Structure formats: C-alpha cells, structure tokens
Amino acid sequence: MPKKKKNKKMYFDQDVENAIIRYNASDNDAERNKIYSEEIHKAFDKLCENIINTFKFEYFDDVYIDVKHETVAFLVMNIHKYDHTKGSKAFSYFSVVAKNYLILHNNANYKKYKTHHDISTLSNVSTKNNEKNSYLSDFINDLIEYFEQNMSTIFKNSTDIDVAYAIIELFKKRDGIENFNKKSLYILIREMTNVNTSQITRVTNIFKKYYIKLLSQYDKYGTLADNKNKFF
C-alpha cells in the first residue's frame, strides 16, 4: 500500500499567529526582535511575495525585491494593530493590509505616470524646484562618499558602523522610499541590522550633526572633497 504524502507545513500557520500575539504583548525590544526574526519575518516575506506575484502590479518604479522589502516593512509598522480577540485570523488580516498597501502605491504611481506624460511644459516654480532637488541630490551623493571614506573615524563601535552603513544604503535608495516616514525608516534599519531603536537613534543623531555642518560647507564651496573630519 503506497505511503501517504505528509501534508506540507503552511508558511503562515497558527504558530506564526501566536508569535505575532506574543510580539505585540511584549515591551522588551530584544525579545520582540528575536520573535520577529525567528518566527514572523519568513512568513511576512513569503506572504508579500505571493501577493505581488498574484496581482502583477504594473506601476512600481522599484525592482521586485525592493517592493517586497518595503511591503514587509509596512506590515511590521502595522503589526501592533492586529487584535486576535476580534476573530480575524492573522493570515487574512495581513494579506489585506499588504494588498491594500500595494494597490494604494500602484495607483499613486499610475497617477504620477499619467501626470508626467500629460504635462507638456513646466512652470518657473517647477523648474526652480527641480534645480533645488538636483542640488540636494548632488549634496547627498557627496555626503554618502564622505561617510564611506570616514566611517571608521566617525564611528568606533562595530554595531554603530553597521547601523551607519544601513543608513547610507537607504540614502542610496532614497528615490524609492521617499514616502516613508521616520518610523518606517527605523523599521527598515532594524530589519537590516537587528539592533534596537536606541542604538539607531544614537547613530542618526551623529548623522544629523554632520549633515548640518557639511551642508553649510557644501553651500560655501560646492563640494565636500578634501574636507575629511575638518569640523569635528
């Protein structure tokens, strides 16, 4: 008699739902990070992958992997809103959240696409804004290079350096995450580095100090070249 095939374990089952409940109930960052990375992340990642592949969203500027990471980050940002006492299963709840997020941004990108193709001329205000954005973009590129060249001098702690490189990576991908707020950026950094919020805040405060000083220098000379640690 042929053996029956074992049922394949669901990627988002009751164990994942229980982990989400424990995650929301915990006030300990280290414990929450452990629960998320070991018991929730894989299910969120697979859920977003399946939804993107099923609905074939057409108007995303970013590559597939970036869209998936952004959607996973959005689920994490809203994980606290899940309430199992209301009778909704976690799988169904987060499927709707992910799908609505993707539909919203797909529609927004479609509107931008239509706008860009419908406008034949730009006003003087738009031109000035473009010039300002270009100037800021050039400064950010110089800022990225400055931090990469001086990383080991600015940061001594290996964890701080990991967080700093994660922030630099987000700077490089800034066009694709322009609609993200501070909280969601922190979540992205936590996903990339697995550190707590206080460590991220410490590094971002250092970034802010350098940003202000270096922007002033860039305004004056138009470059950050040959300015290694000149102000600090």
125 falls in which pLDDT band (50, 70, 90)?
Answer: very low
d(CA 108, CA 102): 10
Spell out the residues 6+ positions from residue 68 whose beta carbon is closer than 8 angstroms to its own: 45, 48, 49, 52
Domain positions in the chain = 14-117, 134-221
Spell out the residues 6+ positions from residue 30 whose beta carbon is closer than 8 angstroms to its own: 196
Instruction: Convert the pLDDT of each residue in 36-55 to its tens digit.
Output: 999 999 999 999 888 888 87
Instruction: Give the model's pLDDT for residue 62.
Output: 56
Instruction: Convert the pLDDT of each residue in 168-198 to its tens digit.
Output: 888 777 666 555 566 677 777 877 788 888 8
Rounded to two decimals, what is the model's pTM?
A: 0.46
Instruction: Give the model's pLDDT for residue 229.
Output: 45
d(CA 210, CA 147): 9
